[in-house]
Amino acid sequence: MRLVAWKRNAPDSANSSSGVARLKMKSPRSSWMKKPTRSSWICCDFQVQEISTARLQPDEEKSVEEEFIRSSNAAKLLQLSQAALDALSENENSLLTQSGVIGRVLAELQRVDAGAAEISSSCTRRPPRHCTNCRRNCRVYADKVDVDPARLAEVEERLNLIHSLKRKYGSSLAEVIAFGDEAQQELQALESRDVELARINAALAKLDAEILNAGKKLSAARRKVIPSTCQIGRQTIG
């Protein structure tokens, strides 16, 4: 017997003389007590594993996209940043005549990589003779550009994973992470309910054995009483 509720009915006419109440099985258990389907558990477990193994950070998408743009356009970005550095390394008189060239190079750099906007703004808001900060920013930026095919493949794979998870679970990484947390809670609820149902089934199995044993004892007691009851009845009739 598994997960059925027992109901004690009032003694009927067949058993009223002995005062024995019969145990009757009730209708199937409620929906809460139904065992979770394997498909629902597998689906929830897959979602939890897929999101948790990604080790997402809520604000990483922008930095990954910027690194992907730099890596995929590394050769061109290095060429542009080096051209800007060469122009900025000229003497003050040359800088005055090269300002237009510098502006066009930095504009192209920013067009290819929006992350280079800080370099462009640091140069355009100051006169050429005060471009020390601009040179330093260009040098720092050039150092961040890495012509590494292996790194490009790694960043591209990460970006594809982020986009895939967003298509499935939310419009932002914060929503994806929240979805994963909810799926984890649901999975724990399914697993704990499974454990609880196993405990209840074990208790019911024990109850079944006790009821069967009590029935056997009652039957044995009846068999012992029947001969003397019959003899008393014959003497009374006779």
126-146 tens-digit pLDDT: 554 556 777 787 888 788 787
Range of the domain at 52: 38-238
Single out the residue of 42, 40, 58 nearest to residue 50, CA to CA: 42
pLDDT digits (tens, 9 = 90+) for 213-236: 988 888 888 877 777 766 666 666
Determine whether 53 is exposed, middle or buried from the number of CB atoms within 10 Å of its CB (0-12, 13-18, 19+).
Answer: exposed
30 is a domain residue: no
Q: Look at 8 and 74; give whichever has higher pLDDT.
A: 74
23 is a domain residue: no
Return the pLDDT at 140: 81
**Beta carbons within 8 Å of 178's beta carbon, 6+ residues apart:** 170
Return the pLDDT at 25: 38
Lowest mean pLDDT among 50-64, 78-92, 160-174: 78-92
pLDDT digits (tens, 9 = 90+) for 182-209: 999 888 887 787 777 888 888 889 998 9
Bridge partner residues of 25 (DSSP)? 6
pLDDT digits (tens, 9 = 90+) for 76-94: 888 887 887 777 776 554 5
Return the pLDDT at 192: 80
52 is a domain residue: yes
Roughly how many angstroms between the first and final C-alpha of the chain, as a whole number? 49
18 is a domain residue: no
Return the pLDDT at 53: 95
Q: Predicted confidence band at 161 (pLDDT cuts at 50, 70, 90)?
A: very high
20 is a domain residue: no
Q: What is the DSSP letter of 30?
A: P
Q: Predicted confidence band at 122 (pLDDT cuts at 50, 70, 90)?
A: low
Over residues 98-114, mean pLDDT:
77
33 is a domain residue: no
Return the pLDDT at 174: 95
**Is the Cβ–Cβ distance between 96 and 57 less than 8 Å?**
no
Return the pLDDT at 12: 42
Return the pLDDT at 15: 43
Number of Cβ within a 10 Å radius of residue 140: 12
Contacts for 50-55: CB closer than 8 Å, 24+ residues apart: 50/165, 51/165, 51/169, 51/176, 51/177, 51/179, 51/180, 51/183, 52/180, 52/184, 54/161, 54/162, 54/165
Number of structural domains in the chain: 1
12 is a domain residue: no
Mean pLDDT (the chain) is: 75
166 is a domain residue: yes
